[in-house]
A and B are shown apart, each in its own frame.
Chain A
């Protein structure tokens, strides 16, 4: 399943890096605003994309973006269809067994329940996207888990009454809840995962070192905090 479309040509690679080096193909889901989404001009956009572009500029890599379904985003990485995943992917032990992660570029994001009216999240029917930390968390509680392929479908399921509430990253739900008078956050936030990192093949140690170094320098000079403030005004950028 070779993945497709949406190559946003990156001008980031500096001119002196014009040596014949391999292009780094970076995959994202493109359906999880404001982490990553496809904007109206049909280009990938969001925090993941800004961070990725900045890393490529600093590490002097020639990068290009591809979009891939969330379901198959890890299998396609390990089979070599692209080289990195920047898709708001939380670092978890389970994923770490299959792929490698760089250091986190986003703090452990609180997940939140959103629904219409009062719901007991311990026993209700909860929607979550397949293969996410939220889906794993709901399965551990007493609630009934209903999984969907895309984040948008999880929210649509709440609106049409198919489920009682949705569990997702608060950063994703916040703009949706604030713009929909029917929806509200329910109960306490849940802290899951170890923050969001870049997924890489375990055999790809060289790329990991380069990206880690670039991320460290971005944290030191405040560039990362600036990008986070742009997309997530409510999240504390100093973690």
Chain B
């Protein structure tokens, strides 16, 4: 990046470090922080959507739908995350490719599983093997988001269905007395009020999600943990910037990053909780009312 970096072996310590911290590989490390934040930004709403759908299904009056909702939450919550993260992306990927294979290559006569090999026709490959690298990366990232959303959605479903039950029954009875239908009462009375009850659980879940992002590394996404390990490992003079084992410093940087991220989100949730408590018949709401009076 700097002009004086052309011969790193001849540099003094300070300049050497400046050059070292601006190599292409280091920039890949810096960008990977963005990958983690992007994952959080996409996964949190997706998981909330899964959770909301799961919670609604679990209280549905149509029995099979209710069983589906209950099966989803209890199954996913009962299986270790790591197994789910290893299983879901592989299974989904093969499922998608198999479906496309059936649709796009009807005259293919060989079996899809040949011994150890999983072989689909070239047109069914996902993404196409001629696709540029960023498409392959985005596809892998999307599978990772889906896996995260399914797992955290199950936990969110439990939190949300608890919150729905916590909305005072009298509120719903009043809504019914006004002649609202079941759906109207749900959307107009229950949903706006349930968030204050859901928030403590959801904020907990968010913190767990933040801490679970290193699992990306397991899914082959090159996140901050991958780069910390790769860059921190000792380097011989095969590399332009040889150095001893620096993993401890890289992991220390990650530690600070995660701590900052969780402490910032804690503050955000505290403010959000204050806002939502306004005018609610809860202890926090009562406190706000007295403070104002």
Contacts and interface: CB of A to CB of B under 8 A. Distances in A.
Contacts of B221: 4
Of the listed residues B24, B132, B236, the one surrounded by the most CB atoms of chain A closer than 10 A to its CB is B236
Contacts of B24: 40-43
Interface string A42-83: 110000000000000000001010101100100000111001
Contacts of A42: 23-25, 27-28
B107 interface: no
B259 interface: no
Contacts of A33: 236, 238-239
A130 interface: no
Interface stretch (A102-110, A116-124, A150-158): A150-158
A4 B216 CA distance: 12
Contacts of B94: 79
B93 interface: yes
Interface in A20-54: 22-25, 30-31, 33-34, 37-43
Contacts of A201: 117, 119
Nearest to B142: A2
Nearest to B126: A2
Contacts of B122: 22
A72 B240 CA distance: 29
B238 A175 contact: yes
A191 interface: no
Contacts of B222: 4-5
Of the listed residues A1, A175, A203, the one surrounded by the most CB atoms of chain B closer than 10 A to its CB is A1
B233 A66 contact: no
A236 interface: no
A98 interface: yes
Given A2-B140, A33-B238, A80-B125, A152 B233 contact: yes
B136 A3 contact: yes
A78 B240 contact: no
Interface string B7-24: 000000000000000011
Contacts of A34: 238
Nearest to A33: B238
B89 A1 contact: yes
A117 to B, nearest CB: 19
B220 A80 contact: no
B130 A3 contact: no
B175 interface: no
A78 B241 contact: no
Contacts of A237: none
Contacts of A195: none
A7 interface: yes
Interface of A: 1-7, 22-25, 30-31, 33-34, 37-43, 62, 64, 66, 68-69, 72, 78-80, 83, 98-99, 150, 152-153, 155-156, 159, 175-176, 179, 201-203
- Pairs of residues from A and B, 4 with the lowest C-beta to C-beta distance, nearest first: A7-B133, A152-B233, A2-B140, A42-B24
Given A3-B140, A62-B130, A203-B119, 17 more contacts: A2-B93, A2-B139, A3-B220, A4-B140, A5-B137, A7-B136, A25-B129, A31-B230, A39-B239, A39-B240, A40-B24, A42-B27, A78-B116, A152-B233, A176-B236, A179-B237, A202-B115
